[in-house]
Structure 1
Amino acid sequence: MQASTQSILEPRSSTWHLKNIQKKNVLLVLRTRSTSHNRGNYICRAQQEDCDLLTSVSSAIRERYGSVETKRVIESLNFLAADEEYYRDHANFGIQRASSYISGLEARPFHDTDSPDFLWMKKLEKDYEVILGELQGAVTNTDIEKQGNYIWAPAAREEAIAYGPDWRTLVLQDRCVWDVTNSSLFPRTTELVKRFKVPSVEVFFARQSPQTGIEPHSDNTNFILTSHLGLDVPEGECWMRVGNEQHFWKNGSGVIADTSFIHSTKNLSEKTDRYVLIIRFWHPGLSKTERNALTFLFDAIEDPTKEGIINANRLADERENQPKLKATSSTSQTKKKKKKKGLGMLNKGMS
């Protein structure tokens, strides 16, 4: 299949990494400061603001879900905010790196798709021709760029270094939220993912051009796994290496990887694009409460003000069908007043 090109005015990240709660770029701002006194004052203010926001978000998580149930989530948030990184060279598996890290989760480069935890993948494999059909329709649709959002968008920001200029994605779900416009262009694919109860965080199609690859890197998050369903693949010519193990994609076949291990890809074909459906999903070692708490975190960290946390609770109520807070008149204005400050956003993206 040959895909049309697109001029992207605001290219989004091809992959969402949970790795960063981006603090204020203190070093960048310091370059504009003229005196050591000003520098010292700025650092103190930034550190205090980060601390206050971290406390607000952590307290909101504990209040909603309980301290015991969210212990690992809070520990992970503190670990991330402290700029720590989990690093381990597994004797048989290879190197794992994660700055968004939850302890106690099984770590291996590839997971067995026959596991009861991944029955949904077997179901998707059986219906892969349905998904392929919608993808083929999109690739041949000359108007799809006008109909959808960021169609076949390249990797952006720091991800572009590893992913290269030819990596392209078409996103249906991002950070647990379905893109209404794009998912409506792929109604059967969206319906299958929902019907099979895939614990998805992100869903998107990925295209890799001939004679290109993704350089070795980590997605820096160990509590979200990555699955690939081969759709239109030049079999025998495309591979993915995760840790010390290598996998060749096959059409209609799924694979599940832990992309906190160092991984890379290659399309060796001379002229054929590689298309796969990528789903990033919660590690099965997480409890339901931990998944809810992490989803709440995605919302709260975007706007950790009092109003922002009220809005995060409202969204959680809608997802969990357990009303706990009544929206206030100010809540409806939250989106208009959002300010990215302090701890900032969890990056969107994916590998």
Structure 2
Amino acid sequence: MSTRNEPQQKQQLKALEMTPRRKQFFRMVSEGLKVGFEGEDLSRVENFVRYCKGELEYKALGPLHQPSEEYVEGLRAKPWWEPQEFEWISEMEERSSIVIDEFKAFWNDPLSGFAKDSVNMNIMGKGWSGVRLQRLGEWIPENCEKFPKTVKLLKELKIPLAVRGVMFARQVPGSGVSPHTDGRNFILTTHLGVDVPEDCWIRVGEEKRSWENGKALILDTSFEHETRNDSRRDRIVLIIDYWHPGICHLTKAEQEALAFVYDLRNKFESGEIPLEEPEEKGLFGAFKRAFQQ
């Protein structure tokens, strides 16, 4: 995630030095793809890895488009997408009362609470917090138990959830999220209005829009975006991250390989995989053994 204070590509390239940690990551990526996808044509995924290494130069596809080195070629890029472009959005809007009512019950519980747990709180700001249902592709049982109907609905909709997250996000009055980009051009994000007062907005690229209760906004967060709540009460939205529809044009093997790379990246970023872990242990060892059985 980066801010507008420094050109996106310049900032990303600073982080591309081949440190021991990065060498370990890309070694595990290479070995994992060979072991798990032997005989498959993974040229597009291999190019994705080359972008990640900084060997290929990614391209911005419009004003304020700021993709990162985690870049998939050939995907359509636009700040805003429309609900009719996704079959599951209309059903989610029709059944949004399930989400809204369940959130109200949660909000009335004195033991409920939001966490300021973003790794980029300097960008998100003091007024932002969230309740995560899913993070890095894993459902969070203790939070899902508080929203069983919402989780059931999300699973029934068969949303192609990406390995990033699903969460209720709160913005307190007089606060906002600073301009930034999430970088990854292969993930889209939907915001479902849950409890939205007037005088709240989100800008993606050059256009501002406002949330509505029970309605969805669909955005590409590889474009610069920011939010603001100038009302006198909290703003609540349900945020859902999922694969860009262009990913569906990849083969099943390519989709699984891309998910593997991104999941491995998340585990490195979270510290789940320690530095210079022996290859026969941990995630790679488990992955390798699974495909050798």
TM range (shorter): 0.7 to 0.9
Q: Is the 8 A contact 2:190 2:219 kept in 1?
A: yes
Change (3 A) 1:296 1:249: same
Q: CA deviation at 1:154?
A: 1.2
Runs of at least 5 residues in structure 1 that lack an aligned partner in the other structure: 1-12, 14-18, 20-24, 27-42, 145-150, 318-323, 327-351
Choose from 224, 238, 245 the match for 1:284: 245
Q: Is the 8 A contact 1:300 1:312 kept in 2?
A: no
Change (3 A) 1:69 1:187: farther
Distance in 1 between the 2:204 and 2:194 partners? 20
Q: Which runs of structure 2 are paired with 1:48-87 in the superposition (5 Å)?
A: 50-66=22-38, 69-82=41-54, 86=58
Question: Which residue is 2:4 aligned to?
Answer: none
Counterpart secondary structure, 1:123: helix
Question: Which residue is 2:145 aligned to?
Answer: 184
Q: CA deviation at 1:260?
A: 0.3
Choose from 65, 77, 90 the match for 1:122: 90
Q: Which runs of structure 2 are paired with 1:234-313 in the superposition (5 Å)?
A: 234-235=197-198, 237-269=199-231, 271-286=232-247, 287=250, 288-301=252-265, 302=267, 303=273, 305-307=279-281, 308-312=283-287
Distance in 2 between the 1:114 and 1:99 partners? 30
Change (3 A) 1:84 1:284: same
Distance in 1 between the 2:61 and 2:76 partners? 15
Distance in 1 between the 2:188 and 2:288 partners? 26
Cα-to-partner distance string for 1:145-166 (whole Å, 9 max, x where unaligned) = xxxxxx4111444x11211011
Q: CA deviation at 1:285?
A: 0.8
Q: Is the 8 A contact 1:231 1:251 kept in 2?
A: yes
Cα-to-partner distance string for 1:125-164 (whole Å, 9 max, x where unaligned) = 11111101111111111123xxxxxx4111444x112110
Choose from 102, 111, 114 the match for 1:143: 111
Q: CA deviation at 1:311?
A: 2.4
Coordinate RMSD, CA, aligned: 2.8
Identical columns (%): 33
Distance in 2 between the 1:120 and 1:173 partners? 19
Q: Is the 8 A contact 1:230 1:275 kept in 2?
A: yes
Choose from 159, 172, 176 the match for 2:133: 172
Q: Which runs of structure 2 are paired with 1:29-48 in the superposition (5 Å)?
A: 47=19
TM-score by length of 2: 0.81
Counterpart secondary structure, 1:97: coil
Distance in 1 between the 2:140 and 2:191 partners? 20
Cα-to-partner distance string for 1:257-316 (whole Å, 9 max, x where unaligned) = 0000011111121x11110000001111113433322332244443373322132467xx
Cα-to-partner distance string for 1:152-210 (whole Å, 9 max, x where unaligned) = 111444x1121101101100011211112211211111011111101113110000111
Q: Is the 8 A contact 2:192 2:239 kept in 1?
A: yes
Aligned residues: 265
Q: Is the 8 A contact 2:118 2:124 kept in 1?
A: no
Q: Is the 8 A contact 1:155 1:165 kept in 2?
A: no
Q: Which runs of structure 2 are paired with 1:84-163 in the superposition (5 Å)?
A: 86=58, 88=60, 90=62, 93-115=63-85, 118-144=86-112, 151-157=113-119, 159-163=120-124
Distance in 1 between the 2:24 and 2:48 partners? 17
Q: Is the 8 A contact 1:97 1:262 kept in 2?
A: no
Change (3 A) 1:241 1:311: same
